Structure 1
Amino acid sequence: MSRIISNGATIHFDDLGPADGMPVVLIHGHPFNRSMWRPQTAALSAAGYRLIAPDLRGYGHSDTVAGTTPFPAFADDIAVLLDHLELDRAVVGGVSMGGQITMEFQRSHPRRVRALVLADTSPVAETDEGKTFRNRLADRLLAEGMDGYTGEVIDKMLAAYNVTAMPQVAAHVTEMMRTTDPAGAAAALRGRAERADYRATLAATTAPTLVVVGADDVYTPPEEAQGIQRLVPHATLTVVDHAGHLPNMEQPEAFNTALVRFLNSLAL
């Protein structure tokens, strides 16, 4: 684990695989941390790719900044990380909120993007109802902590049948959620409520794009992924069977196959 200082916050990250491999930055979702990408480490390294996985500010080992963390701040942290590693461009991807931060990175730092990976995410701006929900949830996490929320949503983060069928995966996801600093999670939720609408950004992108979704994702179902593909006609879409909102953890072999195939195509 390494660390940098970005805009006043210490950001911890993993930098794994061959140093001369094509860099792939993977951004975790809410309320997780960089350890969610462990199932991808060996596959990417074996295929010759360099995996860079940060803990977003407010999550994992990175500093918590109370208040509100706007999505451009998350994107700027990724740019600072690339600068630190002396990388001009990278494949940038993420799951759920991490996918939305990826889209923000494409919007605000397009020249740094070699390709996009968008997993189980949505480009649409928050509705008024959604903004109210995010802010109320932020208040609740600050008041109550993460345990109650974790118990309520674990069977939505994973497909409900995988919570019992994959106890080790469920335990990992539960641990990430429960150990997240409520202040960091709340700050991200408030920033997420005010995120931009990324549909125009996606429609204008020429970057190669991989869209992945769990077949049984209840948060961002396959219809959302199909909507992204309509916005980015050159995108490749992969639907992962027997998975919910976190296919990289629920079905890592299928996810890794799609990801490595996509990365290999970039070199052609």
Structure 2
Amino acid sequence: MGFKVTVESGVGLFVHDIGPEDGKPILFIHGWPLNHGCFEYQYNQLPKAGYRCIGLDLRGFGQSDKPWYGYTYDQLADDLRVVIDTLDLNDVTLLGHSMGGAIAIRYMARHQGHRISQLALVAAAAPSFTQGPDYPFGMTKEEVDALIWQTYKDRPALLAEFADLFFEKPISPPFKQWFIGLGLAATGYSTAYTAVSLRDEALWDDLASIHVPTGIFHGEQDKVCPFEFGEILHAMIYGSTFYPYEDSGHGLFYCDQDAFNADLSTFIEQNR
């Protein structure tokens, strides 16, 4: 079922809640520039195994309210806290993809892992999405600036080009149109403002705050968040488990959906 949870300043966030009410909760946090619907192929299967799947549309995306403000990692992490408390979730597996992984990491640091028992980082945009001194991985800030410019000039074209980067394995033309539609459900300004956060925010200092079992799921062919991101996170998060996907890119939860769903279930069950 779907409903809204009210967070800071009356902003309503859309929540999709499917699966047994007493099932182990998995809270899905989507990446840029999508919404909770990108995890359709997890919602189709994981409830069969007894998991309660809770998909959240971040502010500005999908069916959530779209305020002009509030697109920093801190605010997005604070929004998560309100959703978790409002739904009275406990023993949560927090799963973040891409930018959602960065927000999940910020949540673990800013809210001391409140009510989280496992963390799943899927092609996470961390510890930094952009390059810096002694860190040659990811996009340059100028490349992200170009994405922001295109967001304001021709967002449908941006989304079409991003779909080509997102999936390493072939997708059908109708599937690509569906993917573009997920992005178009956001506003242009929320898409741009979160890209600013991707460009400017880093999470090096947050990683030491992660004290729950952590699974790192990353495609070796990822053209958005390079595979090195996953390797660095695995090295810096104590006791983490690494799940590499040799033939997948950024959209590994679709292109390797059967293996990913099985690995996610294994990770959760082994760390309960």
- SS class of match (2:244): strand
Deviation at 1:239, TM superposition (A): 1.5
Q: Which residue of 1 aligns with 2:190?
A: 184
Equivalent residues, number: 262
Aligned partner (choices 214, 218, 221) of residue 223 of structure 2: 218
Q: Which residue of 1 aligns with 2:249?
A: 244
Counterparts in 2 of 1:154 and 1:42: CA distance versus 1, 3 Å = closer
Instruction: Give the letter for the 1:266 counterpart.
Output: N
Q: Which residue of 2 aligns with 1:121?
A: 124
TM-score, length-scaled by structure 1: 0.89
Instruction: Give the letter for the 1:121 counterpart.
Output: A
What is the correspondence of 1:1-268 to structure 2 with a 5 Å cutoff? 1-8=2-9, 9-67=11-69, 69-112=71-114, 113-125=116-128, 126-127=130-131, 130-142=140-152, 144-159=153-168, 161-163=169-171, 166-195=172-201, 197-267=202-272
Asked if the contact 1:95/1:246 (under 8 Å) is kept, the reply is no
Instruction: Specify which structure has the higher proportion of helix.
Output: 1
For residues 267 and 173 of structure 2, the distance between their equivalents in structure 1, rounded to whole angstroms, comes to 30
Structure 2: gaps (5+ residues): 133-138
Instruction: Give the letter for the 1:184 counterpart.
Output: S
Deviation at 1:193, TM superposition (A): 2.8
Asked if the contact 1:82/1:89 (under 8 Å) is kept, the reply is no
Counterparts in 2 of 1:56 and 1:85: CA distance versus 1, 3 Å = same
For residues 119 and 148 of structure 1, the distance between their equivalents in structure 2, rounded to whole angstroms, comes to 25
- SS class of match (1:110): coil
Counterparts in 2 of 1:69 and 1:234: CA distance versus 1, 3 Å = same
Asked if the contact 2:17/2:55 (under 8 Å) is kept, the reply is yes
Runs of 4+ in 1 over 6 A off after TM superposition: none
- SS class of match (2:66): coil
For residues 169 and 251 of structure 1, the distance between their equivalents in structure 2, rounded to whole angstroms, comes to 15
TM-score, length-scaled by structure 2: 0.88
Deviation at 1:15, TM superposition (A): 1.0
For residues 212 and 41 of structure 2, the distance between their equivalents in structure 1, rounded to whole angstroms, comes to 25
Deviates more, 1:20-29 or 1:88-97: 88-97
Instruction: Give the letter for the 2:110 counterpart.
Output: S
Asked if the contact 2:61/2:186 (under 8 Å) is kept, the reply is yes
Structure 1: gaps (5+ residues): none
CA RMSD of the aligned region, Å? 2.1
Q: Deviations over 1:86-106 (max 9, x none)?
A: 124521111111111111111
For residues 255 and 234 of structure 2, the distance between their equivalents in structure 1, rounded to whole angstroms, comes to 23
For residues 238 and 127 of structure 1, the distance between their equivalents in structure 2, rounded to whole angstroms, comes to 24
Instruction: Give the letter for the 1:158 counterpart.
Output: F
| % identical aligned pairs | 24
